[in-house]
């Protein structure tokens, strides 16, 4: 009986060790030594770069590796990782994002942290919007020094490329003049309910929602101006606050008065 129990313990320990040693090097949302990378994936000396692994692509999802070939440990939070975004090539070396990105009202989905030790890679899953237009695409980690990924061809939907000019990533990294132009020119790029909000069609109030999306472009622009370029608040928003015929007079007035009261 004792020999039988010892045999069971031995087999259990063997299986555990074997499973640990044969761990899938592409286990999602985890890091692994870069020595496990296949030879077709290049390493950039003293650099961190992305690699879109087309052998691990299913439909419109693909594994994108963050390869840390430096001596430094890297740390990213979910808000930063969300800035890994697909782009498509329009001509020469010019690339455009084609999927507008917004964090949404709840940040729970981004409230996590990852660590990538030196000489390791992290496996992330990314998606792109599929469609009928075949193009060369890549992934870029906006707002970081991480090198862009390799490119590959896929069928994508570029119908909302225009909307990326007014999303959270653009607003976070644009300059002050770009933001001011949006506030002053009040663009209306939304002609229909965006793909990500198609469930709103069932409410039969498309025109109302389209107006709210277009209004949101300017109103969010005002809020970002306050956050990123406070020295431009009064020169840009005060004239709007004083214009009773301006469609965003109330919002500008609220912001200007709040700043004035704060500075008293």
Q: How many other CB atoms are there within 10 angstroms of residue 55's CB atom?
A: 10
Give the model confidence (pLDDT) of 149-170 as tens digits.
Answer: 999 999 999 999 999 999 999 9
In the chain, the domains with their CATH numbers are 24-161 (2.60.40), 174-263 (no CATH)
Provide mean pLDDT across the span 238-264. 95
Q: What is the pLDDT of residue 205?
A: 97
Host H or E run for residue 59: none
In 121-134, which positions are buried (b, 16+ CB within 10 angstroms) versus exposed (e)? Answer: bbbbebebbeeeee
- DSSP bridge pairs for 138: 87
Q: Residue 19: is its pLDDT beyond 70?
A: no
By CB atoms closer than 10 A (0-12, 13-18, 19+), residue 90 is: middle
Write 212-216 long-range contacts (CB < 8 A, 24+). 214/187, 214/188, 214/189, 214/190, 215/247, 215/248
Which two structure tokens, joined as six digits, stand for 220? 């969010």
d(CA 194, CA 198): 6
Strand 130-141 with 113-116, pairing: unpaired
pTM: 0.86
Q: Residue 115: is its pLDDT beyond 80?
A: yes
Provide mean pLDDT across the span 58-82. 96
């Amino acid at each position: 009986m004792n020999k039988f129990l010892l045999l069971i313990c031995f087999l259990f320990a063997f299986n555990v060790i074997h499973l640990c040693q044969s761990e899938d090097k592409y286990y999602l949302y985890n890091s692994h030594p870069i020595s496990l990378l296949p030879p077709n994936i290049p390493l950039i000396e003293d650099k961190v770069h992305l690699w879109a692994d087309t052998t691990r692509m299913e439909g419109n999802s693909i594994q994108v590796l963050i390869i840390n070939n430096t001596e430094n440990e890297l740390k990213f939070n979910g808000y930063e990782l969300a800035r890994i975004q697909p782009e498509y090539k329009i001509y020469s070396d010019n690339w455009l994002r084609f999927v507008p990105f917004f964090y949404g009202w709840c940040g729970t989905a981004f409230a996590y942290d990852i660590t990538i030790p030196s000489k390791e890679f992290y496996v992330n899953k990314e998606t792109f919007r599929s469609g009928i237009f075949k193009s060369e695409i890549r992934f870029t980690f906006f707002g970081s020094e991480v090198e862009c990924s390799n490119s590959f061809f896929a069928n994508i939907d570029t119908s909302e490329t225009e909307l990326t000019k007014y999303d959270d990533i653009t607003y976070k990294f644009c300059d002050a003049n770009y933001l001011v132009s949006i506030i002053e020119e009040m663009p209306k790029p939304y002609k229909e309910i965006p793909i990500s909000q198609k469930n709103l069609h069932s409410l039969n109030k498309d025109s109302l929602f389209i107006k709210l999306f277009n209004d949101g472009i300017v109103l969010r622009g005002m809020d970002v101006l306050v956050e990123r370029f406070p020295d431009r608040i009064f020169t840009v928003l005060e004239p709007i606050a004083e214009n009773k015929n301006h469609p965003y007079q109330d919002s500008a007035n609220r912001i200007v008065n709040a700043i004035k009261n704060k500075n008293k």
